[in-house]
Amino acid sequence: ETGVTQTPRHLVMGMTNKKSLKCEQHLGHNAMYWYKQSAKKPLELMFVYNFKEQTENNSVPSRFSPECPNSSHLFLHLHTLQPEDSALYLCASSPDEGLNTEAFFGQGTRLTVV
Amino acid sequence: GQQVMQIPQYQHVQEGEDFTTYCNSSTTLSNIQWYKQRPGGHPVFLIQLVKSGEVKKQKRLTFQFGEAKKNSSLHITATQTTDVGTYFCAGGSNDYKLSFGAGTTVTVRA
């Protein structure tokens, strides 16, 4: 285990539902990330938080809304998603947002939008 | 923006053989990281290269960073079934952004 825990592991939701993904790390890291992993595509960076402040929003649609209440927890709130949003959503953390720091990934939430 | 390309997308290897996967960037990188994702798992950090021409080894894995810091390679010798998975490179830029390649998915024939 990497020390980064994501819940739930699997989620099926309708296009009108509202759900939230949760990520938790107790590694003492200051930076947390949300990535989207779709089949046959590179990992797509969605959001970056450094010291609880959002430092990156990679042109993500507003139906995805991140929240970082403290440096150990990161949420991704989902509403009115589309079927093409079905993917593996990975949370990661690193000591800080700078260079030369490895990312520790959680096991991901497999999301299916029906 | 920065793009990182990986080839090949798929690598089918006979157990015991060697293979190499390549990572190429359209821009000069500050550093390159390699990750491995087992089937059904999550990416796990393998190594980071920072210096031009740097070579690092981890048992049967050899990682190289190009002289121009625009490409990298991962060479695996004597492939084993435990090497199955997808190998990602991730290039770092001066604005702290890490761009992942699409990965090379490795399968092994026993």
Q: How far apart are CA A75 and CA A23, in angstroms?
A: 6
Type of residue found at A23: C
Q: How far apart are CA B66 and CA B64, in angstroms?
A: 6
- Most B CBs within 10 Å: which of A10, A51, A101, A107, as the mutation test of the B interface? A101
Share of chain B above pLDDT 70, in %: 96
Which helix (H) or strand (E) segment holds residue A56: the answer is: strand A53-57
The confidence band for B71, taking pLDDT boundaries of 50, 70 and 90, is very high
Contact call for B98 and A41, based on CB within 8 A: no
Higher pLDDT, B84 or B99: B84
CA A93 vs. chain centroid, Å, equals 10
HSE value, Cβ hemisphere, 13 Å, CA-based, for B43: 31
> How many residues would you count in chain B?
110
- Most B CBs within 10 Å: which of A10, A105, A107, A110, as the mutation test of the B interface? A105
The confidence band for B21, taking pLDDT boundaries of 50, 70 and 90, is very high
Cβ atoms within 10 Å, residue A11? 18
pLDDT confidence of residue B37: 96
Give me the tens of pLDDT residue by residue for chain A, a chain 114 residues long: 569 999 999 999 999 999 999 999 999 998 999 999 998 788 899 998 887 777 777 789 999 999 999 989 999 999 999 999 999 999 999 987 665 688 999 999 999 999
Chain B residues closer than 8 Å to A98 by CB: 96
Q: How far apart are CA B74 and CA A72, in angstroms?
A: 33
B2/chain A closest Cα distance in angstroms = 13
Chain segment B31-48, per-residue pLDDT in tens: 999 999 999 999 999 999
CA B27 vs. chain centroid, Å, equals 17
Residues in contact with B40: Cβ distance below 8 Å, sequence separation at least 6, in sequence order? none
How many H-runs (helices) and E-runs (strands) does chain B carry? 0, 11
Type of residue found at B58: Q
pLDDT confidence of residue B2: 62
Closest residue on chain A to B92 (Cα): A99
pLDDT confidence of residue B96: 66
**Which of A89-98, B32-41, B70-79, B98-107 has the lowest average pLDDT?**
A89-98
Residues in contact with A59: Cβ distance below 8 Å, sequence separation at least 6, in sequence order? none
| Nearest one of A102, A93, A47 to A71, comparing CA atoms | A93
